[in-house]
Structure 1
Amino acid sequence: MMRALLSVLLMLALAPAQAHKPSDSYLTLSVKDQQVKGQWDIALRDLDYALGLDQNGDGALTWDEVRAQHQVIATYALERLALSAGPGACPIVAGEQLIDQHTDGAYTVLRFTAACAAAIDALTINYRLFADIDPQHKGLVRLDHDGQSSSAIFDPQQARQSLSLASPSRWAQFRDYVRHGVWHIWIGFDHILFLLSLLLPAVLMPAAARQSQTIKAAFIDVLKVVTAFTLAHSLTLSLASLHVLSLPSRWVESAIAASVVLAALNNLWPLFRGRRPVVAFLFGLIHGFGFAGVLADLGLPQSTLLLSLLGFNVGVEIGQLAIVGAFLPIAFALRKTWLYRQLLTTGSALIMLIAAVWLVERAFDLRILTA
Structure 2
Amino acid sequence: MKAALFVLLSVWVALSGAPAQAHALDPGYLELRQLAQNTWQVSWRKPDVTGRPMTIDAVLPESCTPARGPEPTSDGVAWVSVWVAECETGLGGNSVKIDGLETQRNDVLLRLQPLDAPTTTLRFTPDTVELEIPQQPTTFAVFTSYFRLGFEHILEGWDHLLFVSALFLLVRDKWRLVGAVTAFTVAHSITLAFATLGVLNVPGPPVEAVIALSIVFLALEILRRKDGQLRLSEQYPWIVCFCFGLLHGLGFAGALAEIGIPPQDVFAALLSFNLGVEAGQLLFIAALSAVLMAWRFMTPSGSGRLATYSIPVAGYAIGCVSIYWLIERVSGF
Confirm or deny a common fold (TM above 0.5): yes
Go from structure 1 to structure 2 and tell me whether the alpha carbon gap of 1:221 and 1:340 turns closer, same or farther (over 3 Å shift).
farther
In structure 2, what is the Cα distance between the partners aligned to 1:315 and 1:3?
27
Which runs of structure 2 are paired with 1:16-35 in the superposition (5 Å)? 17-32=20-35, 33-35=37-39
1:357 aligns with 2:328: no
1:163 to 120, 123, 133: 133
1:308 aligns with 2:269: yes
Deviations 1:280-334 (A, max 9, x none): 1110000011111111122222222223211211111111111111111322443
Which runs of structure 2 are paired with 1:165-184 in the superposition (5 Å)? 166-169=136-139, 171-184=140-153
Go from structure 1 to structure 2 and tell me whether the alpha carbon gap of 1:241 and 1:332 turns closer, same or farther (over 3 Å shift).
same
Partner of 2:288: 327
**What is the letter of the counterpart of residue 72 of structure 2?**
Q
Partner of 1:280: 241
Q: Shift in Å at residue 43 of structure 1?
A: 2.9
Aligned length: 315
**What is the letter of the counterpart of residue 82 of structure 1?**
V
CA contact (8 A) 1:267 1:344 kept: yes
Partner of 1:56: none
Q: Shift in Å at residue 273 of structure 1?
A: 3.9
Q: Helix, strand or coil for the counterpart of 1:161? A: strand
CA contact (8 A) 2:122 2:142 kept: no
RMSD: 2.7
Go from structure 1 to structure 2 and tell me whether the alpha carbon gap of 1:183 and 1:122 turns closer, same or farther (over 3 Å shift).
farther
Structure 1 ranges of 4+ moved more than 4 A: 1-5, 88-91, 338-343
In structure 2, what is the Cα distance between the partners aligned to 1:275 and 1:116?
60
Using structure 1 for the length normalisation, give the TM-score.
Answer: 0.75
**What is the letter of the counterpart of residue 221 of structure 2?**
N
In structure 2, what is the Cα distance between the partners aligned to 1:123 and 1:278?
53
**What is the letter of the counterpart of residue 141 of structure 2?**
A
Q: Relative contact order (C-alpha < 8 Å, sep 6+): which is higher?
A: 2
1:137 to 80, 103, 106: 106
**What is the letter of the counterpart of residue 236 of structure 2?**
R
Gaps of 5+ in 1: 49-60, 67-72, 205-216, 367-371
Identity %: 30
In structure 1, what is the Cα distance between the partners aligned to 2:211 and 2:165?
14
Gaps of 5+ in 2: 226-230, 297-301
Partner of 2:299: none
Q: Shift in Å at residue 5 of structure 1?
A: 4.5
CA contact (8 A) 2:170 2:218 kept: no
Which runs of structure 2 are paired with 1:172-211 in the superposition (5 Å)? 172-202=141-171, 204=172
Deviations 1:125-161 (A, max 9, x none): 22244532x3x22222222222742222322122222
Partner of 2:204: 249
2:72 to 84, 92, 97: 97
Go from structure 1 to structure 2 and tell me whether the alpha carbon gap of 1:148 and 1:341 turns closer, same or farther (over 3 Å shift).
farther
Partner of 1:116: 87
1:260 to 187, 202, 215: 215
Partner of 1:8: 12
Q: Shift in Å at residue 38 of structure 1?
A: 2.3
Go from structure 1 to structure 2 and tell me whether the alpha carbon gap of 1:7 and 1:330 turns closer, same or farther (over 3 Å shift).
closer
Using structure 2 for the length normalisation, give the TM-score.
Answer: 0.83
Q: Helix, strand or coil for the counterpart of 1:164? A: coil
